[in-house]
Chain A
Amino acid sequence: MRVTLAFTIKEFLLLLRDPGGLFVLFMMPVMFMVVFSLALGGLFEEGAARGSARALEVPVAIGGAGEVAEQVVEQLDATQGLAMVLEHDGQPLTADQVAQLVADGEYPVGVVFPAGLTALLEDPRILTGEQVKPLEVDVIVDPATTAQVTGPLEGALSAVLQQVVGRRLGEAGAAAWFEQVAAGLPAEIRAQLAASMQPDGQDEGEGALPVTTRRRVPPGVEREQFPDQFQQNAAGYTVMGVFFIATVMIESIFRERRSGAMRRLRAAPVGRAPIVISKLAPFYVVNLIQIVIMFAIARLAFGLDLGFIPAVVVVSAALALVATGLGIALAGVARSETQGTGLAVIVVLTTSALGGVMVPRFIMPEAMQQIGNITPQAWAIEAYQDVLVRGQGLSGIWLEAGVLLIFAAVFTAVGVWRFRFD
């Protein structure tokens, strides 16, 4: 009992000698709570204010679609969680502008109404039941967007179209029939009949409509195939997994320091840079293997289309450099192994959340999205999605790969600078 107590006291004393480690220990849950609350607050809050950052903003081009499109937009705008954006720089949005905004990643989804929508519904051929070529309302979707985001909008759009168009057709069709059938009746009887024919809303929207919705990708995005949820997440979880190499590296470096081997190396005719670089190399290979395994599983088990393989290789090579660089930097900054691994978990999970690993960044408030831009995960995910989901080649990922290499260079430089032998 006395021995156990002595060990317990000793462990407490050791913990107290490592205030940095304690700080990490206490801050980790706090950081998670704060970051996830900020990032995901909109998903859990009732009555998300329309037009606030939490509502899904949807750029809409009405163009020459007329009154029917305006009614649809008005109803969609009144729907909780949706905010229709009709103007850009003070001017009504055009179809091209909507497509470009989605292609640029400004919005995950947009809507373009076909010209002549209202006029079509007034076409006598429709009112008399003749076949006409239906019009299509385009839903412009970023292929990298999850179904959780586009699904509600598409559902709401279909429902509102059904309601508005159906009502419009019901009213117009009945009026035409009435004009034909009741033309010779006395005015008093016609008035009674007209009153009894007011639509009660029960039948509206039933039957095939001359307006449908169609999913499209923005111009310049080659992939027409829309990924499922797993395919969309493959990039995110690969990126997050790769960064966990940091914890393993920190453990390895501190274990080596403990062994005294670093002290011997300090007396050897080698500088810090070769030691640090040689420390990176094996973990870099481990990371690449990790990426290959992740994508192999995604490909073989879930049918992920890897797109242009050389582009995937370039992104993966840059990503692995960033992850190993982060490991060496954190090992240099941390004062103890406990502090280092705790810090790595905080940094990796926090930056992964901010970078869009767990939830798409566009559903985060604007400020969080901006912060996300300073995480390597955001750039890596964007690059992977460019290749895997949007079908881009090397020309589509050079910017992201370049930014990742800058991250890697900075992290590695910090690691070399802060590297300690004991």
Chain B
Amino acid sequence: MLLEAKNIVFGYERGRNILENMSLSIESGERLALVGPSGCGKSTLAQILAGNYVPGSGQVLLDGKALPRRGFCPVQLIYQHPEKALNPRWKLGKSLFEAWAPDDGFLNALGIEKVWLSRYPAELSGGEMQRFCIARALAPETRFLIADEITTMLDVVTQAQIWNMLLRIAAERNLGILAVTHNGELAKKISARTVTFPEKT
């Protein structure tokens, strides 16, 4: 499969576009790192690729077709701040099973303890919450993962645990991964190709 962003234009304010004619493509099984200065629109592009924002012009195409408007989206976004991605008033089990019902083996592989399912997000650490966000994004229908600085707020041990696990699952299922990161060393480890955001003029 092929995920393409074609000539994306996007602005939060009239007359000030943050993305101008941005294009990129990523294939199944490919791992791509997206780097660029702060405030250049990396997270905005991530939101557009996942179908959360509608670009002013340009298209996001999955195998030449637009992303589905309803139902499960095969392009899943994992956010930088897991605490912002989980409903604080839902127990984590509910947030997870809303997407799909992973079996115990899968939860084990991600290092999710069964007792966490009946806890609220505020009772877990950032790394533990992020595991849920990743588990939720890894439903069987998922084909592409957009990882927007998913381990920036975690310690290096947890970072290594999460990425090793994610890379293994992506390889098994032939998923495409687009990873936004500021860490050059991490980018080298997790991706085969790097796209650098153009500097604004």
A, B assembled together: no
